[in-house]
Structure 1
Amino acid sequence: MRRWPQVLAGAVVLALLVLFAVLLLPDGGLDRSDKVASVLGLGVAVLTLLVTLFPKPGRAAGTPDDLGAVVDGVARAVRDQWESEEQIRRVHDPFPLPYRWTAADEAITDHWQAVNAAPDDDTPPELAGQGDHVVDLFRAIPSGRLVVLGEAGAGKTVLASRFVLTLLGERAPGAAVPVVFSLSSWDPDRVGSLSDWLVAELTSNYPSLGAVDGAGDTVAARLLAARLVLPVLDGFDEVPDGLRGTVLARINQGLRPDTRFLLTSRPEEYRSAVTSTGVLTAAAVVRLAPLTADDLDRYLPLTIRTVNGSREKWRPLLARTREPDAGGALREVLSTPLMVALARAVFSDTDADPERLAARGDSAAAIEDRLLAGFVPAVYADSDAGSAHRRLVFLAEHTVRLGTPDIAWWRLVQAVPRAVVGVVGFLVIASAVWFGMGFPGWVGHWPAGSGQGGWQVATVLAGAVCGAVGGAVVGQGRGIRPEPARMRLRLRGRLAQITARLRRGLRSWRTMVYLAVWVVGGTLFGLMASIGRDQGAILVGVAAGLFAGAGTWLVVSFISGLGTPIEPTDTTSPLDLLRIDRRTALRQGVAVGVVGSAVFWLTLYLGVEPAFGVPFEVVFADGLWLPGIAITATAGVAMWMMFATVWGAWLIARVWLALTGALPWATMAFLHDAYRRGVLRQVGGVYQFRHARLREYLARPR
């Protein structure tokens, strides 16, 4: 490892600290000696810290060596997620809708020899089946690769969840765990390979799997390498049209001989990708069959739960589905589990008459639209359905605009105009500088001609410049951190992580820019102090800026290094993730604000007299420095919370969207309520519309 950047950075810091100390000596005195000792002591501490950074760390503390225990934790989290989904979907109420499947067209299936993993065996396996026996089918395929095709609403995701829960129910401790991955989140231009994308998704949904060992491998990568994760690749059809061929090719490129997976897609989207790219290697392909009139007769009458409801109210409509000609469109619509679920919500859960669903002569599209239009009013019958519909339309349009099915609370800021975020950034940053750093100039006891005016001018200029630059940066990116922290603060066992973060920081250009900003700020104050006085105040300003910059950088890096990834079972909902991120951000902000304020005021203590010729004790007589520390700490907390975490961007979005009426102030409560009502589903730390067809309908231009 090349260490000269670290050595150079340490040498520069130490040299300027010594220069700062020398500039304090013009008049001598015991107090000055104490100050010099403080500065030199800090310099020795910095040098000692740099020395400790040089050795290469061993295995990161806390990195799990027992992959069996780790994968068992992931299995519990996966089971909890999908059992909750099945409960909200009412999969078992009164009983699961039947699934049937048949072999798909051989033109989109690989050679049977490849599927059978035997060069001389070209016998087509028996692929037809029904119910939960998709697990048996999967195990009967020698290659362990299965593609399930189904039209929109055919129940592919529910089938995937049944597949996952069936495997988990039969799973032995330490064995592989099936994990559902949403293919719509894969951008192959950003994350090229299949394994890299799977690792990224695992570490995003289960942050503790991002822990790195001494060889630089994450726990997630080790689980994949050990074949302890069985990917269930859901929603290939939700990949953008122009990327499906690339995604299919990357899947093939990332397959190892013993790689197993299950993939779901709509038929036409999969066929189109296969035609342009080629089949999935060694994968058998089945297609879900539509529900039958007998399935509807057995199921829908048993879904009525209203007190005065009659099971017979479904009979007239169900009879029409058997009419050879007139019932064709109705039979087509009710042939998918999605439309049956919508029909149940609209008619079985209310007093509405099912015969209103379709008039004779209606097209299938008209019947579908009627069900989709009636779904939100039905599930919000006890609430303000109109407001709920407007808010859901906003969310659908927002996700379509971003090109993702995910409703992530930290990305809602993308719906706020950049100018608004930029103005908020300017006001917060400028105010923090004006009140935090400007406190000495506004309220200090400065003798006449001692430089108070210069301090005030420098504060105003620094606040305006920092606010404008920071506001532009924050507004352009609508925040700084793109994802939640997904970690808790922990001191024990974090030394290796803290030293590794400091080591990386010393090699980062961002650290150099950060220090440069502080040096420029210190120079500005030195220039103001030098007006009509000794020009040596400029050097004091330079050294003071570097002193404060280096000190606050060490504080921020140390506090950030205390973050420990949360365990897989800790994050069970987006609300949990928000609470964890907010709590972590607040604790980090308080620590950074308090300690950073102490560093800033230590700099003032050491530098006010050399720069301005007035003792610190005079300017801040009667304990005036105490409220100064509190105000500076508060400014630091505000800066950290607003821009160093996603919580600040979330707060801006929450206020703006509530003011514009796009979402209620209690946004997370609204999203959770929509999840509880079956409109949304939960995928890790984000929500999605439970049905892509519903999202498409709500986002449709009107």
Structure 2
Amino acid sequence: MSSQIGPLLRGLRLEVGLTQEQLAQQAGLGVRTVQRLETGKPTDVRMGTVRQVAHALADTLGRDRDEVWQELLTAHRGQGEVSVPASPRPAPEEIHRPSTGPVPEPVRPGGRPTGGMLAEVADTLAHDVRSRWIREEEQRRIHDPFPLPVRWRSAPEGLLDHWDNISGVAPGPSSGPLSLDGDLAQITDIYRRIGSRRLVVLGRAGSGKTMLMLRFVLDYLGTRSSDDPVPVVFSIGSWDPAVTGLRDWLIDRLLRDHPNLAARTAGRSTLAAALVDAGWILPVLDGFDEIAVGLHRAALAELNAISLPLLLTSRTEQFADATAIGVLRKAAGIELTDLTTTDLAHYLPRTARPTGQGELPDRAATVWDPVLDELCDQPNSPAGINLTAVLRTPLMVLLARTLYSDTPGQDPADLLDTARFPTSEAIEEHLLADFVPTVYARHPPARPDAATLRPRRTWDAQRAQRYLGHLAGHLDRPGQRDRQDLAWWQLSSALSLPSRILAIVLACTAVMTGSTILATSALELTSINRPLNLSASLLGGLVLGLSTGLALGLLYGIAVVFGKEAFNPSRVRLKLPIGGRQKAGTPSRRLPTAFGAGLLVGLAAGLSYIPAHYVLLFPGVVDGAQLEIQAPVETVLIRSLLYASIYGTAGSLALGLMATLETPLDVGSAATPAGLLAINRNTVIRQALLVAPVITIAVAGTYQVLEGSSVQGLLGPPEVPWEWLARGGECGLAGTLSYVLAFTAWGQWVLFTRIALPLTGRLPWATMAFLDDAYHRGVLRQVGAVYQFRHARLQSHLSSVPHTSGHG
């Protein structure tokens, strides 16, 4: 009985209205393969090939993939019995290379319960991750008009572990290497064929590693079962393996990008830690080559110390250097290949506007025709050699598309001008240099959030290039810990530490001066024995503010040097324990730290009385001073300690109470940069509304208690009955605002990123709006709660372009 696969395949293709070329493209095959299947000429049809065609047809028809595949197999069996492998895998006919040994059965990771709290949390995380990367895929226009073909071959065996270790087979006859050749549509299937579930993706800069990573995450989640781990992307370039273990770093990044995972389990660990420890996380580690060069081998040793499944991307050269002594244990590898001239001929014309009838009857002419003619007809000409070398990676093709297909009036034939572009490097530099000016020459993109009512901001290309250059330079500067992530709470480090301390001192001085003037003026207006003296109030506020600001600036500098994580965004909110007690393991465990911090800040403020006393009582500075000029040094010291105890008690009580009322953020979805900023702004405002009245009451109450004690003479009698309340309000207002500006992530965002950096011309006043706009123009990408430059090559180029500070 002859095979009926040809007529059935042709009928299904005509039913959906596809040409043979279109079906081949969707299936990731050559058009000749489809032609041979329809004519029934092949005598050894590969099951992987049939499966690819079946999946492409099923997706177009809206039918079940396995159902269509079984129909085609049944039709084919008329030619002879064809055994169906237990776990068939697609393998394009053009690139299939048989393995030299038996193919091991896919191994499913086990050990995770299919139900329970962690399983539900993992499902929620999977939904969040999928939603995030679908948006990112749309933002990158990967499917416009269709994905660039990303293909690969098995990586050189000298960079990998023994195949028996990768497969996990028992000692004995070798299973032999497994062919991993494939293309973008096969990445998940190929990954599941690897027994260890550890895969390294290698390639040159811009070769499509990130595109492959993105497709892997989405395809894996699309076929994920209830007990499969959740693939989560981690930009590994910010990891310092000499300081932080991989497990702890993964947990920290999960908490940053998914604040709801800060909630604690019954065992008092965070949900993030519980997911990692239980094997619910499949780390997708992007950018091994972005780790500092001297740390590559330390990173490799740390990766070998864990048995987690993973997918790791890296440039080939850097990974080869790191594995010169030892390999990544149990990891298979693939290496991405270059795009071909045929790929360019299929892709570039469809990205451009038709300009007329083409040479072929079914093809429209475009601006790319002269370029493609040169590459196809004269590949060995100087222009053809240079341009072919450039357009071999998806990154450069997408840059060329942006400059010439998406921009009216531009002629890509200019790229063939060898006088202007004598080398391939000159062409690459041109594409990189013109990318930002080109995308900023367009109208601003529509806002994705229709609920945003703020007026649309625009930036001219020159200013945008300058701001982006400063941001890239900030990431690439020597000693920078995080060389990838543009995190809003870390942008303040673009200022030197002395500059930040100076800003803290000035801000705290201004806050203290204002609150002192308000309190003193109110007291003088209501006291019959104390006339209004604005100059004395101003001077007193300045001196007290400056001395307090210097103390707080010193504390800030100490916190920066010794507390690297001191100013990360808050992962908690305040919640009154109404209707029941707080859950075990809430952040009230921070009570000792918060209590100590409040005590230190209060002591610093109290000790500032010493310099203030001598300045204010210097003869002729302030008339009618209430304290004796000749007060003994001992009296001044005692007064200072007394004030320090009052303010320290108030500060510790306020921050301690705040810590006891903290509970993890109730965030139902993954964090975004703007979303995390808004959450932290609201959290800090609520903290301030709690801290200010607590400090006010604590200071006023302490004064009242001490009024009838033996130390009353040191404080002096109140001139009006409510003087202590006014002084408490002064401390509450000044102390709270100083704490917010100096010791919270949002306060430093306001002080440094919204004020100080724009004053120097290094960032725009509307920084977050600028970052969001750059993201929607395709210059930046969004990875969790941070932005990153779309590609390391673009970041490197922008950081190397000279830029001068200016105001914008």
Shorter-chain TM-score category?
0.7 to 0.9
Which residue in the other structure is 2:411 paired with? 353
Deviations 1:600-651 (A, max 9, x none): 1222333346545699996225x66666555443323311220121122212
Which residue in the other structure is 1:377 paired with? 437
Residue 484 (str. 1) matches residue 569 (str. 2): yes
Aligned-pair distance for 1:473? 4.0
Deviations 1:92-151 (A, max 9, x none): 111111121111111111111111211333311121111220111111111111111111
What CA distance in whole angstroms lies between the structure 1 residues aligned with 2:768 and 2:568? 17
Which residue in the other structure is 1:298 paired with? 346
Q: Cα–Cα, structure 1 residues 312 and 693, in superposed 2: closer, same or farther, change >3 Å?
A: same
Letter in 2 for 1:422: I
Contact 1:408–1:685 at 8 Å: present in 2 too? yes
Residue 552 (str. 1) matches residue 651 (str. 2): yes
Aligned-pair distance for 1:71? 1.1
Q: What is the root-mean-square deviation in Å for CA atoms of aligned residues?
A: 3.5
Contact 1:582–1:647 at 8 Å: present in 2 too? yes
Deviations 1:306-347 (A, max 9, x none): 899974211110122222312122112111111111111111
1:161-172 superposed matches below 5 A = 161-172=214-225
Deviations 1:655-692 (A, max 9, x none): 22222222211111111000001110011111110011
Aligned-pair distance for 1:215? 4.2
Contact 1:590–1:633 at 8 Å: present in 2 too? no
What CA distance in whole angstroms lies between the structure 1 residues aligned with 2:151 and 2:353? 27
Mean alpha-carbon deviation: is it higher for 103-112 or for 558-567?
558-567
Which residue in the other structure is 1:11 paired with? none
Which residue in the other structure is 1:578 paired with? 677
Aligned-pair distance for 1:517? 4.3
Contact 2:234–2:283 at 8 Å: present in 1 too? yes
What CA distance in whole angstroms lies between the structure 1 residues aligned with 2:766 and 2:613? 48
Q: Cα–Cα, structure 1 residues 691 and 499, in superposed 2: closer, same or farther, change >3 Å?
A: closer
1:122 alignment partner, one of 160, 166, 175: 175
What CA distance in whole angstroms lies between the structure 2 residues aligned with 1:447 and 1:537? 25
Aligned-pair distance for 1:569? 4.2
Which residue in the other structure is 1:24 paired with? none
1:566 alignment partner, one of 648, 660, 665: 665
What CA distance in whole angstroms lies between the structure 1 residues aligned with 2:648 and 2:177? 70
2:240 alignment partner, one of 163, 169, 187: 187
Which residue in the other structure is 1:220 paired with? 272
Letter in 1 for 2:339: L
Which residue in the other structure is 1:672 paired with? 772
Residue 368 (str. 1) matches residue 428 (str. 2): yes
Residue 260 (str. 1) matches residue 318 (str. 2): no
Residue 696 (str. 1) matches residue 768 (str. 2): no
Which residue in the other structure is 1:230 paired with? 282
Letter in 1 for 2:389: E
What CA distance in whole angstroms lies between the structure 2 residues aligned with 1:455 and 1:314? 74
Q: Secondary structure at the match of 2:800?
A: coil
Residue 394 (str. 1) matches residue 460 (str. 2): no
Contact 2:198–2:310 at 8 Å: present in 1 too? yes
What CA distance in whole angstroms lies between the structure 1 residues aligned with 2:469 and 2:587? 45
Which residue in the other structure is 1:269 paired with? 318
Q: Secondary structure at the match of 2:367?
A: helix
Which residue in the other structure is 1:145 paired with? 198
What CA distance in whole angstroms lies between the structure 1 residues aligned with 2:418 and 2:435? 21
Q: Secondary structure at the match of 2:697?
A: helix
Letter in 1 for 2:759: L
1:686 alignment partner, one of 773, 786, 800: 786
Contact 1:115–1:282 at 8 Å: present in 2 too? yes
Letter in 2 for 1:354: P
Q: How many residues align?
A: 628
1:512-527 superposed matches below 5 A = 513=600, 516-517=603-604, 520=607
Aligned-pair distance for 1:436? 4.3
Deviations 1:67-111 (A, max 9, x none): 012112211221122111101110111111112111111111111
Aligned-pair distance for 1:693? 0.8
Residue 208 (str. 1) matches residue 260 (str. 2): yes
Which residue in the other structure is 2:494 paired with? 415
What CA distance in whole angstroms lies between the structure 1 residues aligned with 2:611 and 2:431? 67
Q: Secondary structure at the match of 1:147?
A: strand
Deviations 1:230-281 (A, max 9, x none): 111111111111111110111001x22xx311111111000000003x1111
What CA distance in whole angstroms lies between the structure 2 residues aligned with 1:424 and 1:262? 44
Which residue in the other structure is 1:288 paired with? 336
Q: Secondary structure at the match of 1:619?
A: coil
Contact 2:591–2:656 at 8 Å: present in 1 too? yes
Mean alpha-carbon deviation: is it higher for 71-80 or for 213-222?
213-222
Contact 2:753–2:763 at 8 Å: present in 1 too? no
Structure with greater helix percent: 1
What CA distance in whole angstroms lies between the structure 1 residues aligned with 2:291 and 2:792? 12
Q: Secondary structure at the match of 1:410?
A: coil
Q: Secondary structure at the match of 2:433?
A: helix
Contact 1:526–1:540 at 8 Å: present in 2 too? no
Letter in 2 for 1:501: R
Contact 2:257–2:785 at 8 Å: present in 1 too? yes
Contact 1:422–1:475 at 8 Å: present in 2 too? yes
Which residue in the other structure is 1:313 paired with? 367
Residue 246 (str. 1) matches residue 278 (str. 2): no
Q: Secondary structure at the match of 2:470?
A: helix
Q: Cα–Cα, structure 1 residues 306 and 636, in superposed 2: closer, same or farther, change >3 Å?
A: farther
Mean alpha-carbon deviation: is it higher for 335-344 or for 493-502?
493-502
Q: Cα–Cα, structure 1 residues 232 and 685, in superposed 2: closer, same or farther, change >3 Å?
A: same
TM-score under structure 1 length normalisation:
0.81
Tell me: higher relative CO, structure 1 or 2? Use CA pairs within 8 A at least 6 residues apart: 1
Q: Cα–Cα, structure 1 residues 614 and 698, in superposed 2: closer, same or farther, change >3 Å?
A: closer
Letter in 2 for 1:163: F
Contact 1:410–1:483 at 8 Å: present in 2 too? yes
What CA distance in whole angstroms lies between the structure 2 residues aligned with 1:239 and 1:227? 25
1:111 alignment partner, one of 162, 170, 187: 162
Q: Cα–Cα, structure 1 residues 518 and 382, in superposed 2: closer, same or farther, change >3 Å?
A: closer
What CA distance in whole angstroms lies between the structure 2 residues aligned with 1:523 and 1:657? 34
What CA distance in whole angstroms lies between the structure 1 residues aligned with 2:425 and 2:631? 83
Deviations 1:407-463 (A, max 9, x none): 112222122244442233223333444554687666354969xxxx99999987654
Q: Secondary structure at the match of 1:633?
A: helix
Residue 333 (str. 1) matches residue 390 (str. 2): yes
What CA distance in whole angstroms lies between the structure 2 residues aligned with 1:662 and 1:458? 35
What CA distance in whole angstroms lies between the structure 2 residues aligned with 1:630 and 1:440? 8
Q: Secondary structure at the match of 1:178?
A: strand
Letter in 1 for 2:369: R
What CA distance in whole angstroms lies between the structure 2 residues aligned with 1:544 and 1:474? 21
What CA distance in whole angstroms lies between the structure 1 residues aligned with 2:355 and 2:127? 38
Mean alpha-carbon deviation: is it higher for 433-442 or for 316-325?
433-442
Aligned-pair distance for 1:220? 1.8
Q: Cα–Cα, structure 1 residues 172 and 523, in superposed 2: closer, same or farther, change >3 Å?
A: same
Residue 427 (str. 1) matches residue 511 (str. 2): no
Contact 1:72–1:174 at 8 Å: present in 2 too? no
Q: Cα–Cα, structure 1 residues 338 and 540, in superposed 2: closer, same or farther, change >3 Å?
A: closer
Letter in 2 for 1:196: D
What CA distance in whole angstroms lies between the structure 2 residues aligned with 1:498 and 1:263? 34
Q: Cα–Cα, structure 1 residues 414 and 358, in superposed 2: closer, same or farther, change >3 Å?
A: farther
2:700 alignment partner, one of 587, 592, 601: 601
